Amino acid sequence: MLTEHYQKDSPEHQVLQYLQYLTWLGLRGTPTYQEQEAGLALFLEGEFAAIVQCEEFDRFWTWEADCRRGKKVGRKGYFVQIQFATPVIGPITIGYAAHYGLGAMRGCRGVEGTIAQDVDATLPLAI
């Protein structure tokens, strides 16, 4: 267990781990985790970096079964809410088959234009 209510490799823990692989977020350092009222928090070198809360979807995603060609797959998905200590560049796609959900992403505020990535190109935002 990471905390009293969050186990290691839980959806919240996985989200916080995956975020550290997205280099443009700048989440570097030794991670520690703390349970807070709003979810599971990530601290890097003792400084608050992000907090995540996951809510389970109870419906089965048929595209997942189709993509796996009949293999048994998990029948759960998660709505993930992430709050960062400082503004970050997005969109953020994480987890197993994350690119399939890109069309379902929706920003909390109306952002227009393009966003810089950690490559030489920019990615247009869908509104």
**pLDDT confidence of residue 32:** 96
pLDDT means per 10 residues, the chain with 127 residues, are 90 92 89 96 97 80 56 67 88 65 49 49 45
The whole-model pTM stands at 0.66
**pLDDT confidence of residue 123:** 44
**pLDDT confidence of residue 7:** 92
> Dihedral of CA 98/99/101/102: which sign?
positive
**pLDDT confidence of residue 1:** 87
Half-sphere exposure (Cβ direction) of 86: Cα atoms closer than 13 Å: 8
